Amino acid sequence: MSMVDSSVERVETVTVIGAGSMGHGIAQVFAMHGYDVTLVDVDEDQLVTANERIATSLDQLGEDRLAVLDRLTTTTDQAAGLSGADLVVEAVPERIELKREIFEAADRLTPPTTILATNTSTLPVTEIADVTDDPERVVGMHFSNPVPLMEIVEVIRGEATSDEVLETAIALSKDVGKTPVVVEKDVPGFILNRINYAFWSEALRVVDDGTHDFEAVDAANRRLGFPMGPFEVLDFAGIDVFYMVCQALDDRDVPVVISETLEARVEAAAYGMKSGEGFYDYPAPGEYERVDISMERSQEYDPWQMIASAVNAATWLVDEDVATEEAIDTAMLTGMNWPQGPFAFAGEYGYDRIVDVLQRLYDETGREQYRPHDRLIEMAESEGPDGVAGDDI
């Protein structure tokens, strides 16, 4: 039985393992909200870079840089960083064995009242928690990048996560100014990356088969109100990161087709903004510049194909009791800056038309992601004359 209670007031000290962009962003946010934070990484240079980037971010946000940095300690000594923590947040790369190794150490070196959270974006929390003696105190807290700016935290219940730990993770997310979205069932990819795969893989498919190029697809998405097209987002987030997401889903028997275009970029080390080139070119590695896309090309591709694929994935999540429609729409609004969530889009376009698009794509490609979900078909059949699905679904 977990010894953790659900009082957020009992969490005063936070240790973040991993000082990459996610890790130092998480450390910054907790320090900004009054927590004493220890940032741990095996690489001293990474810690120096993290401190510099945190300082720059604090200045840009108008925060009291000295006061926040005074609450932040860095160390390469993992044992020392873990020993006094009330909350541990692991934020290392998406490699299951690396994460399990860290959780094994955290389980051994922290008091039994310490909450152990993983920032994994895709890997099941249960697989990570299995190496601990008390998996009840393990929870998913997936922040979105850049952490200081993005509102969402996906709070994921592992198979053994206690109610107290889940409630505390929700409360902590709110306490650092975030919107928690609860993922009630531990499936690979959770909400964000399950839908991101469905959405982005359709964009990659039409580039793979030569039907459209990525600029036309991005222009079409901007026409729908997205601040960035899918290829712009992939460049910003890291093409290699999404490639690892695809591999993680594929390894866990999620129906995935890994794009040839994506693989080619990864093999060429063209990861996007961080490498200076991806689908687009950038002034220098790590230097972002908004891409100039001609909106004259916005009619060449039908972006509702991407929306339909996303709606199908979202419907599966609801049917499997992973999350509610409201939680899913909130996740895509706050986590991916969508102009509205997939179910809001479906209500606007019409569930019957969404099903028609999916059926056409399924007939053309045979890909499982396009097979209209039974629940979605029912929603389309119960749709009223005003284009809104009935309340009985």
The residues carrying an active-site annotation are 121, 142, 154, 193
Helical ranges in the chain per DSSP H: 21-32, 44-61, 65-70, 78-83, 96-109, 125-129, 163-175, 192-208, 214-223, 230-237, 239-251, 260-267, 304-319, 325-336, 342-349, 351-365, 374-381
The closest of 298, 278, 331, 310 to 200, measured between CA atoms, is: 310
Torsion angle, alpha carbons of 84, 87, 93, 95, to 10: 90
Tell me how far CA of residue 337 lies from CA of 144, 254, 334, in angstroms: 11, 25, 6
Tally DSSP H helices, then E strands, for the chain: 17, 8
Cα separation of 81 and 196, whole Å? Answer: 34
Cα separation of 225 and 16, whole Å? Answer: 35
Cα separation of 13 and 318, whole Å? Answer: 36
> Secondary structure of 237-255 in the HEC alphabet?
HCHHHHHHHHHHHHHCCCC
Give the 3-state secondary structure of residue 38. strand
- With vertex at residue 379, the alpha carbon angle to CA 388 and CA 312, rounded to the nearest 5 degrees, is 110
Say which amino acid occupies 65: R
Q: Which residues contact 19 (CB under 8 A, 6 or more apart)?
A: 27, 39, 40, 41, 43, 46, 47, 49, 50, 74
The closest of 217, 256, 260, 253 to 369, measured between CA atoms, is: 256
Give the 3-state secondary structure of residue 183. strand
Chain centroid offset of residue 303 CA: 22
